[in-house]
């Protein structure tokens, strides 16, 4: 049985972080209750300056206020329905939506696009209910025409609270992870059912907007790095389940970067390294089941991926050598 991988304090070389982050202009609008130290400051200012997410007349933004479903839909619709455009308002067949509802234009716009489910599938809209993270993500991605089959070749549990790959919300959460629209915190949970505040909504919308503009590659590489480091840490502790979650996310995030910058050698390296550590994680699981043939095969796969990464870029040598070292250790132990 292979020995547990040794915990390293530093795994990725500076090469993985070589891409410079695109600067985001933060100017004009500021809010008295959103200091520069606030986690969503840049997101809030960015969206406010583009009239996507407004503050209040007293100069506040109220970042901690909860967002209901009607408000969430209007925020998304605002980027599609210019203020100068008139939406023909008509009644809808929801039992909880009055004919004079302030959000009716957004709802009329959203229904034919299947951004929200209407009758007969759903007879209530629940406009005043606080929107959850996954509800907002699904509405957002549908509005922008995201293919729910994006990254369909990856159907793996992503965290302790996102394990059912057949759940209705899984494609949206998978896409959110792949694009770094959502980022797993140190707790390791993605929180699909978490109720959102105005700051939360701003941050998700901001990250998605940057990804669509090709400005999230740096963050995607950083998040790939974090999850590969987590794999090493978890395997060192014998926590193979958490390592499996991290390895699935690492591949997904690296593929997200590849989708935006397919010709960048360092992005291709990130994909190979992530796939290599996924193979090692599977080898560790096989070792627990005393399936030594699978251990040897998966270790060989990891070594091959390390070699491919090395060929893609000379800057990948440190990363590839480390992966190859682990692969050899697994293979050697499986032969004892």
Burial readout 123-136 (b: 16 or more C-beta within 10 A, e: otherwise): eebbbeebbbbbbb
Sign of CA dihedral 154, 155, 157, 161: positive
List the one residue out of 151, 156, 160 whose CA is nearest residue 180.
151
Query: Which pLDDT does position 126 carry in this prediction?
Result: 97
Domain parsing of the chain, residue ranges: 14-18+217-334, 41-212
List the one residue out of 311, 233, 303 whose CA is nearest residue 275.
303
Query: Which pLDDT does position 13 carry in this prediction?
Result: 34
Query: Which pLDDT does position 241 carry in this prediction?
Result: 97
User: CA–CA separation, 76 vs 143, rounded Å?
Assistant: 8
The structure's pTM equals 0.88
User: Quick check: 163 and 28 in contact, CB under 8 A?
Assistant: no
User: Quick check: 283 and 258 in contact, CB under 8 A?
Assistant: no
- Tokens found for residue 83: 């203020």
Distances (CA, A) of 104 to 53, 109, 258: 18, 9, 39
Angle in degrees, 0-180, between the axes of helices 265-288 and 292-312, rounded to the nearest 10: 170
Q: What is the pLDDT along the chain (336 residues), one digit of tens a residue?
A: 444 333 222 333 333 332 222 333 334 468 999 999 999 999 999 999 988 888 999 999 999 999 999 999 999 998 898 665 556 666 788 999 998 899 999 999 999 999 999 888 899 999 999 999 999 999 999 999 999 999 999 999 999 999 999 999 999 999 999 999 999 998 999 999 999 999 999 999 999 999 999 999 999 999 999 999 999 999 999 999 999 999 999 999 999 999 999 999 999 999 999 999 999 999 999 999 999 999 999 999 999 999 999 999 988 899 899 999 999 998 888 776
Query: Which pLDDT does position 51 carry in this prediction?
Result: 84
User: Quick check: 50 and 23 in contact, CB under 8 A?
Assistant: no
Three-class secondary structure of residue 177 per DSSP: helix
User: Quick check: 133 and 194 in contact, CB under 8 A?
Assistant: yes
Distances (CA, A) of 314 to 98, 197, 225, 264, 324: 63, 45, 18, 13, 15
Query: Which pLDDT does position 81 carry in this prediction?
Result: 84
User: Quick check: 68 and 130 in contact, CB under 8 A?
Assistant: yes
Query: Which pLDDT does position 86 carry in this prediction?
Result: 59
């Amino acid at each position: 049985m292979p020995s547990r991988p040794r915990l390293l304090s530093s795994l990725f070389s500076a090469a993985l972080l070589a891409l410079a982050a695109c600067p985001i202009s933060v100017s004009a609008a500021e809010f008295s209750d959103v200091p520069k130290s606030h986690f969503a400051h840049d997101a809030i200012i960015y969206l406010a300056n583009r009239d996507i997410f407004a503050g209040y007349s007293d100069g506040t933004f109220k970042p901690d206020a909860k967002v209901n479903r009607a408000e969430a839909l209007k925020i998304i619709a605002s980027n599609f329905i210019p203020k100068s455009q008139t939406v023909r308002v008509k009644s809808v067949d929801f039992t909880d939506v009055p004919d004079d509802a302030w959000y009716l234009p957004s709802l009329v716009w959203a229904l034919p696009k299947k951004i929200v489910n209407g009758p007969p599938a759903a007879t209530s809209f629940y406009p005043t209910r606080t929107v959850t993270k996954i509800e907002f993500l699904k509405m957002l991605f549908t509005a922008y025409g995201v293919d729910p089959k994006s990254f369909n070749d990856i159907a793996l549990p992503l965290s302790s609270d996102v394990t059912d790959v057949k759940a209705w919300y899984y494609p949206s959460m998978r896409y959110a992870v792949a694009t770094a629209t959502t980022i797993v915190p140190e707790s390791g949970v993605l929180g699909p059912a978490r109720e959102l505040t105005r700051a939360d909504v701003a941050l998700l919308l901001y990250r998605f907007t940057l990804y669509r503009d090709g400005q999230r590659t740096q963050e995607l590489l950083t998040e790939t790095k974090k999850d590969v480091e987590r794999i090493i840490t978890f395997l060192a502790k014998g926590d193979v389940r958490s390592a499996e979650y991290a390895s699935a996310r690492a591949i997904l995030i690296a593929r997200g970067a590849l989708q935006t910058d397919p010709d960048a050698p360092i992005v291709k390296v990130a994909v190979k390294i992530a796939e290599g550590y996924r193979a090692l994680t599977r080898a560790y699981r096989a070792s627990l089941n005393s399936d030594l043939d699978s251990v040897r095969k998966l270790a060989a796969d990891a070594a091959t991926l390390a070699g491919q990464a090395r060929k893609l870029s000379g800057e990948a040598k440190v990363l590839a050598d480390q992966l190859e070292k682990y692969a050899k250790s697994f293979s050697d132990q499986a032969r004892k």
